[in-house]
Structure 1
């Protein structure tokens, strides 16, 4: 509830400070006294955009501050979402600087207008002729029915499931898009992969192949050099092995004569053993070395293929070709597996759709169960408000589309006259009738959900005294569970308030100012008497005022 309001340097208000009570509060004042200014200032606190022309003195800043008791409003989650400090006594302050800049604070934490509007909607509902158009809005009509049907929990579950359902649909769409794009590239990727697979790539194989190619391509030259080497080593009289054998035998004799020759003998002997080994290996090479044109062609073809692939893929190593092959395997496998992924996603969507349908049907069932009671309550209240022939035809039909609040198509039709045709509210009801319908709806809602503070701005315009009396009774009844304000020109309503505030203008040092004061009992008698009979109050007007108050 709104507990206090402070306004400084706004429009015709120099400085105003007022405390408010729970229950039913009345605000009265002559036309032009500044009730709209008061509402304008309050709207700024609730997140309305500021205007530099609002400053009374454009050299000073405008400050509007409102204090709310929000202990029973269940707003902790909203405060957490907006990253604000939660206080049961919450202070909202709005400042308009002479430069035209505007600042807003919630419990001294700066906030943007979107955050302020989100909070403001949960604190005060300012009901004016313009706001009655909300009645014709399909979402608002659903809110009325769902409040009576106690659908809040079901709707929360439905919205969570719908969010997941839409996410799955988006994922399916992305998979389908990937598939369409991948199919275009699939054949080419598969061709490239097959080409690399057939090459039997082995990391580092080019070096080995190039060495083998050199050997096969130079068999005759190698044979010639091997034969020459074999002859140099093994020639019977002048070969290196024969010569070393003679040298070894000479040194062996010397070593037998003196130990100082043993080292030389051993070294020569070791060399002879190594050369004898080499001699044998060269002999083996000669035996196995043969020309192999087929293998030469095979090696040459493999080398050519590898060089062509490296040129094609703009790389310099077989390891890079292997990396490309692995990437192509992933792409081809991804494309080939997309069908399975799409089917799996479609299965998820089907399961989610079944759950959504189950929840939507539960929501629909509860809605259809309460609609007759809503129609009955509305028609009973409107009968008291001077609309005895008002009739509603409200139907919720289960459709095929998942909307944000279920699958129902809502028809909310109205007829003001007996035998009249039913039509949409905005076509069938006048502005005054819409106001009375809105009052009826708000009074019904107040019995089912915790509504924010509500401020009715001249909702009684154009109604008779008896009907206004009924309107006052409805607002008084609503005030048992919530804070209700009524800006009114009718004494029958003004007399029903628990508290009464008067808006008035006064000239201070030749400057007109708007002010707001709370009236005591005697002042209320005078105010209501003036509302009954004008400024020249008769004793009968005063007596009537006292009678109304009592």
Structure 2
């Protein structure tokens, strides 16, 4: 409920601060006194756009603040979605700066207008003769029917299932699209993969093959050089080995004369041993060499294959070719398994549809059972509101299509006159009729669900007499379940309020400002008497006013 409202520097309102109670609050005042300004200020709290023209003094900041008690609305989840701190007593503030920029806050946290609107629609419902088209929408009609049918749990279950269904259908469509794309490339990818698999690539292979090719391709030169080196080491006359042995023998004869000579003798001995090892290795290497033209050709072909694959795939090495092979394996494998994945998803989709169908049938049965009771209640209330011949024809019919709240189409037809033809509400009902229908529907809804604070903005225009009393009684009955405001020109409705405020203009320091005042018991009598008989209040009007107020 709206606990308090503070307005500063807005239109004709200079400074206004007021508290409200639960129940029915009526707001009265002459035409043009500024009742619409209150709605305009509330509209800003509910997320409507603002501009500098709505500011009284453009050099000062405009501030509108509302205090709401929201514990009964179960809005914790909405606060989490909007990343807001939840408080049972929530403060919404809207500021319009002199620059024309607007800011909004919920519990001192900055919010966007979109977030403010999402929260605002859960807190206040402003209803006027110009805002009755909601009642003509199919979604709203289903909301009313579901309140009576008590299908909340089933509808929520259906909506969760529908979200899953849409997600799975989206996934299968994506898989089918992928399958089409992959199928186009499948043959080419399979060819490339086979080519790389047949190559039997190994990491580091290129260096090994290049080395082997160089060795086989230059075998004669290698043999010649190795033979020459062996001869130089082991020749009997001038071989390095014999000469080194001679040096070693000479030094061994004098090594006892000093430590340095002994060291040199040892070093020469080590060189002789190492030289012998080198000679053995050279002989082994020479013996292993054998010209093999076939092996050379095979190595050359392998080398050309590796180079060609690198060029073809713009690869920097064998490792990159191996990575490419693995990628192609995944693509080919994925293409081959897509059909299986698609069939699996289609099975899951059908299973989801089967479960949705079960829930939809439960919803349909409950709605079908509740619909006649809704029609009876509506027609009874409208009869009391001066529409004795108002009748409805309504039905819910199952369809194959999955709609947002079930698998049904709701046909809700109306006729205001006896013997008149039935038609859709938006086409056959007048503004005044729609206004009363909405009042009747909100009256019914208030008994079955927790509605936000509702503000009736002069929906009683053109109503008088006994109908005005009935309308007043409906509003009072509604207020036992929710906070109700009624901006009215009818004394019958004004008198039914548990509290009454008057909107009026007054001149202060040569400036016209709008004020809002909570009326005392005596002030209410005079205000309602004036609404009955005009400015010149008669004793009869006072007596009538007291009777309306039950004083």
User: Could you tell me how far apart the structure 2 residues matched to 1:269 and 1:500 are?
Assistant: 123
Q: Deviations over 1:451-506 (max 9, x none)?
A: 11111111111123111111111111111111111111112222222111111222
Instruction: Tell me which residue corresponds to 2:407.
Output: 407
> Does the CA-based 8 Å contact 1:231-1:239 persist in structure 2?
no
What SS does structure 1 have at the residue aligned with 2:394?
Answer: strand
Shift of the 290–131 alpha-carbon distance from structure 1 to 2, 3 Å rule, reads same
1:131-154, Cα deviation, whole Å (9 max, x unpaired): 211111111111111111222222
User: Distance in 1 between the 2:42 and 2:268 partners?
Assistant: 118
Instruction: Report the equivalent of 2:540.
Output: 540
Aligned to 1:188: 188
Decide which moves more: 7-16 or 477-486.
7-16
Task: Give 1:125-164 correspondences, 5 Å limit.
Answer: 125-164=125-164
Per mean C-alpha deviation after superposition, the further-off stretch among 99-108 and 431-440 is 99-108
Residue 14 of structure 1 is matched in structure 2 by: 14
Could you say which residue in structure 1 is the equivalent of 2:212? Answer: 212
Q: How many aligned residue pairs are there?
A: 542
- Residues 241 and 276 of structure 1 are in contact (CA less than 8 Å); yes or no, is this contact kept in structure 2? no
Distance in 2 (CA, whole Å) between partners of 1:162 and 1:403 is 9
Quote the RMSD (CA, aligned, Å).
Answer: 3.2
1:233–1:279 CA contact under 8 A, matched in 2 = no
Please list the CA deviations of residues 229-255 of structure 1 after superposition, one character each: whole Å capped at 9, or x if unmatched.
7888899x87969979x989x99xx9x
Using a 3 Å threshold, how does the CA distance of structure 1 residues 289 and 44 change in structure 2: closer, same or farther?
closer
Structure 2 counterpart of 1:64: 64
Aligned to 1:374: 374
- 8 Å Cα contact 2:392/2:415 also seen in 1: yes
Summarize the Cα distance change of 1:319–1:264 in structure 2 as closer, same or farther, 3 Å threshold: closer
Measure, in 2, the Cα distance between the counterparts of 1:267 and 1:13.
112
| Structure 1 pair 154–230 and aligned structure 2 pair: CA distance change class (3 A) | same
Deviations 1:400-450 (A, max 9, x none): 222221222121111112222211001121111111100000000000001
Aligned position for 1:343: 343
Deviation for aligned residue 1:277:
5.0
Q: Deviations over 1:291-324 (max 9, x none)?
A: 4333222222111111211222223432222222
1:203-282 correspondence runs (5 A): 203-218=203-218, 277=280, 281=284
Matched position secondary structure for 1:495 = helix
For 1:57 and 1:242, how far apart are their aligned partners in 2?
114
Q: Which digits, 9 at most, give the CA deviation of each residue in 1:251-302, with x for residues without a partner?
A: 9xx9xxxxx99989987996897589569747xx65x765433322222211
Range that drifts further, 414-423 or 314-323: 314-323
The yes-or-no answer on 1:177 pairing with 2:195 is no
Higher mean displacement: 534-543 or 504-513: 504-513
Distance, in Å, in 2 between the alignment partners of 1:448 and 1:138 is 19
Instruction: Report if aligned partners of 2:179, 2:335 keep a CA contact under 8 Å in 1.
Output: yes
Distance 2:154 2:296 in 1: 79
Deviations 1:119-140 (A, max 9, x none): 2211111110122111111111
Show the 5 A alignment for 1:132-531.
Answer: 132-218=132-218, 277=280, 281=284, 291-531=291-531
- Say if 2:2 is the partner of 1:40: no
Change in Cα spacing, 1:224 to 1:93, as seen in structure 2 (3 Å) is: closer
Other structure's SS at 2:110 match:
strand
Q: Quick one: structure 1 residues 52 and 201, their matched pair in 2 at CA, closer, same or farther if it must change by over 3 Å?
A: same
Residue number in structure 1 paired with 2:257: none
8 A contact 2:130–2:431 mirrored in 1? no
Q: Which string of whole-angstrom CA distances, capped at 9 and with x for unpartnered residues, describes residues 326-385 of structure 1?
A: 222222222222222222222222222222222222222221121111111101111111
Q: 290-299 or 365-374: which moved more?
A: 290-299
* 276 and 21 in structure 1: CA distance in 2 versus 1, 3 angstrom threshold: closer
Structure 2 distance, partners of 1:226, 1:75, is 92
Q: Report what 2:111 is aligned to.
A: 111
TM-score, scaled relative to structure 2: 0.89
- Aligned equivalents of 2:390, 2:182: Cα separation in 1: 63
- 1:456 to 1:211, Cα distance in 2 relative to 1, 3 A: closer
Aligned to 2:4: 4
- Contact conserved, 2:62 with 2:96, CA < 8 A, in 1? yes
Say which SS state the counterpart of residue 446 (structure 1) adopts.
helix
TM-score, reference length from structure 1: 0.89
Does the Cα contact within 8 Å between 1:241 and 1:275 map onto a contact in 2? no
Q: Find the aligned partners of 2:73 and 2:281 in 1 and give their Cα distance.
A: 101
* Closer/same/farther in 2, CA of residues 218 and 49 from structure 1, 3 Å limit: closer
Matched, 1:89 2:89: yes
- Aligned residues of 2:241 and 2:272 also touching (Cα < 8 A): no
Greater mean deviation of Cα atoms: 192-201 or 377-386: 192-201
For residues 187-222 of structure 1, give each alpha carbon's deviation from its aligned partner in whole angstroms, at most 9, with x where no partner exists. 222222211222222223333333433444455556
Separation in 2 of the partners of 1:263 and 1:57?
A: 110
Deviates more, 1:344-353 or 1:392-401: 344-353
